[in-house]
Each structure stands twice: as structure tokens, then as C-alpha cells.
Amino acid sequence: MLQLAVAVVAAEAVDSVVDTQPVIEVQHAIKQYGVGEASIFALDDVSLTIAAGEYVAIMGPSGSGKSTLMNILGALDIMTSGKYFLDGIEISSMDENHLSIVRGRKIGFIFQSFNLIPRTSALANVELPMAYQGVKGAERRERAMVALEVVGLGDRVHHEPTELSGGQQQRVAVARALATRPALLLADEPTGALDTKSTNDLLDLFDQINAAGRTVIVITHEHDVAQRAKRIIRMRDGKIVSDELNKERVA
């Protein structure tokens, strides 16, 4: 059953992504806070291309600019200068209202603190982004059920966040991210609040999702987590200091 569901999600992913086009293309991104002498460059001329189907880890200590990069890649924030193409669309010049539509359609977020809507069932949480996109009730429910099956929570769809463990909540968040069939799965310290077993389960899930063809970007400072990715980008002081394939995984 799980295998079948994953296959369905994989097939959808292949349909929606044109192979030749990069999912992410960032050119000379600069993010500056403050002005004059006191100004800080959180991103200092970062250029980055990520192709469809990649599994990328972005690493770095706190203050390295990885969270800023994640916010910009996730269309949650805008850069001071530079260009950003997401799935072929230039979004660096969009206003917040258009950005919200882009986020809903192109990006599936997974946060460290899960960020589920409180007092709302797992199913309703997974349906929510589709509701904002105007997907009709029946189709929405079906897609949400499939996504919850994929993450292994088919039997807990009516539980509210407080009735689920941390690992389960994070899997609801993954289901929510998957259900919209995004071009990109963007995870910000997804294992930061999880125990070892849940962490491994989640990373296994990421492997499956990536194996099914979906692009995955994980922002983390944990070495173990980064080692599961196929490409590792290291950042320091707002710059990319290394960008290499993970030899253990890309054999």
C-alpha cells in the first residue's frame, strides 16, 4: 500500500517537472540588514542552481546565513538585490500577495517546530494549503488521505496535533507539504525537535520522497542529517564556502 502510494506521488512529480529546467536558480543574491557602517550582509553574493530531483543539504553554523537563504528560497523573504528563478518563474520582483500564491503552489515547507494549525485535525491541516489554492472538497480530501498514507499516518487522520507525538506531527507536516505536489520540498532543521528514532524515520521518508523524483532541500547544522543528502552546500558569513556531491550517497 505504501509503495503504491509513493509510486503515485512519484508519477505526479515526474509529470509536473520539466527535466531540463532547474528548480532553483539564484544569481548574485545579496541580503543586507541595516544601512551604512552598521550594515550586515546576511547573504553576500550567493549564486546557486539546483536541478529537479536533487537532494541537497545546506549546512553552516548559526549566523552563517543559511536561515536567510532558506527564507529567500522559500519565498518568505525578499532579497536586497539579485535574481531568483523558482521553477522557471522570476519571483525576486514579486510582492507579498503573489509570493503567497507561489509558496502555496511551488513549495512544501517543513519546519523545525512542525507549525501545524493547533486544534485542527491532521487531515484538515493537510487539506489547508489545497483549500487556499481552491482545490475542491472531494479531490482535496482524497489527496490529503493519500499524502497521509505516504507518511504512514493513514490511521491517525482525525487526531489533533496535541494527540500526536513529535515524529508524527512532523510527518503530518511532510504530508501537508507533499499534498500540494510542490516543485520543491524545503525543510528547515526538520529533525531539530525529534529524537533519534523519529529522526531516522523522517530521513528515510525524505529518501523515499527523493527517490520518487521530488526535489528536497534540507537546511541543517547536524552532520548526520546532511550526510543523507546527495549534495552538501556549506555556508559561512553569508557566502557559500563549499558545494560538493556526497560521495557516500552518489556512488
Interaction site with another protein (CB under 8 A): 71, 74, 76-77, 96-97, 100-101, 103-105, 109, 111, 115-120, 128-129, 131-134, 176, 180
Place of cell 511551488: 106
Dist CA 200 CA 204 (whole Å): 6
Quick one: 77 or 237, whose CB is closer to another protein? Answer: 77
Distance in Å, CB of 166 to another protein, minimum: 17
Quick one: 103 or 228, whose CB is closer to another protein? Answer: 103
Surface-to-core class of residue 58, CB atoms within 10 Å of its CB (0-12 exposed, 13-18 middle, 19+ buried): buried
C-alpha cell belonging to residue 246: 556526497
Strands, sheet with 231-236, edge to edge from the N-terminal-most edge strand = 107-110, 184-188, 215-220, 55-59, 231-236, 239-245
Work out the number of other CB atoms within 10 angstroms of the CB of residue 240.
21
Quick one: 70 or 232, whose CB is closer to another protein? Answer: 70
Quick one: 54 or 188, whose CB is closer to another protein? Answer: 188
Quick one: 125 or 168, whose CB is closer to another protein? Answer: 125
3-state secondary structure at position 66: helix
Dist CA 79 CA 60 (whole Å): 19
Distance in Å, CB of 232 to another protein, minimum: 25
Distance in Å, CB of 219 to another protein, minimum: 14
| Region class of 195: left (phi > 0), else alpha (psi between -120 and 50), else beta | beta
Distance in Å, CB of 42 to another protein, minimum: 12
Quick one: 51 or 193, whose CB is closer to another protein? Answer: 193
Distance in Å, CB of 122 to another protein, minimum: 14
Distance in Å, CB of 25 to another protein, minimum: 22
Return the amino acid letter for 73. Answer: L
Beta strands per DSSP E along 133-204: 184-188
